[in-house]
Structure 1
């Protein structure tokens, strides 16, 4: 009952921000998500930051590409990735893909709970596990693409090793889905003492989707950790205030 009351209060407060939806620091999806950073505050990611683009694969992105919310998510995320690549020098960008070693899917086995969520995905060579074509991966510029086999972005790969080796202290998250890879990765990296930012425009839930799920995570759970939730406009502005990136 307390959770229900808290959720009702949160949504009521957010409704009051609807009139401010055009103000920098807010994003409507369809409820206005308040940024944890004041709109008039200059934001910088510093020099030791990494951009994490999580699970932007055909199977997940393609399933929502023909929806208005999906189209907005793709447009915003692609815009962000391109802007990051345009930095000179570009910061470390890490993409994750969910796939399994072979058709036997040894990472999940026959009874692993995650198999109920990701078990339908295939191997590295299968189209459903590849990065959605709207999102450009520039490996020549240093982009890293990592396999993963659970929700957390660092599950079964060298993510944490890479972040340590590159002396990263700040990470900026985009990806699909908010209640899966975004929430799990935000918790883990916060616990490892990273400054964590989530771009609200660059996160989305997959079907079946209750709009309140995205709202409650972005406006309630993440700020409670606390993790910073920002808009695409704030993230793009922060690129100009950050760096030059060390990578």
Structure 2
């Protein structure tokens, strides 16, 4: 379990266009809010991560199955409402919002520069979706030698079985997996 020192809290892809696909009711966002409030109360730096593209989609390859549809149908540019952080977990002044151009929070973003500048060694991670940004970021963070904690009840996925397999069988090989309440208790 990560300590408060040299720790950052990453809240990933809780942006309007993604939250709207997963959260019919705001109750499913409550664990994200509780973890966010705990990070702030314990002076743990909070970093928001979102996916978005520049106008004209210069970052999107036609070979990219996940993102190439945007080049045809539009949406998800960095100025679109869909890429703005959801109001329920709105960033406070001074909390960075990192824009990534792929699935992992590190891909094409300035996340690692921010982490190095703040001498961060431990990452507490939550996000939507478990099989997307969370999986890719956990893997890359572990490969970069960060100590990683995943808040399993502050992760959502369209497929509950995929979420279960990842949090019970895959993530524990590279990360500490815990609940929001267990993490909050560890901060006391």
Same fold (TM over 0.5): yes
Are 1:221 and 2:179 an aligned pair?
no
Question: What is the match of residue 212 of structure 1?
Answer: 161
CA apart distance, 1:238: 2.2
Question: What is the match of residue 51 of structure 2?
Answer: 98
RMSD: 1.8
Structure 2, unaligned stretches of length 5 or more?
Answer: none
Distance 1:56 1:109 in 2: 24
Query: What secondary structure does 2:85 align onto?
Result: coil
CA apart distance, 1:116: 4.6
Q: Deviations over 1:161-201 (max 9, x none)?
A: 11112111100001000011101100111111111000011
CA contact (8 A) 2:131 2:163 kept: yes
Are 1:45 and 2:38 an aligned pair?
no
Are 1:230 and 2:183 an aligned pair?
no
Q: Deviations over 1:4-28 (max 9, x none)?
A: xxxxxxxxxxxxxxxxxxxxxxxxx
Question: What is the match of residue 159 of structure 1?
Answer: 111
Distance 1:156 1:122 in 2: 16
How many residue pairs were aligned?
186
Runs of 4+ in structure 1 displaced over 6 angstroms?
none
Distance 1:215 1:126 in 2: 32
Distance 1:65 1:169 in 2: 31
CA contact (8 A) 2:125 2:149 kept: yes
CA apart distance, 1:226: 2.5
Structure 1, unaligned stretches of length 5 or more?
Answer: 1-42, 241-247
Residue of structure 1 aligned with 2:81, choices 123, 127, 132: 127
Q: Computing the radius of gyration over CA atoms, which structure comes out larger, 1 or 2?
A: 1
Distance 1:117 1:179 in 2: 19
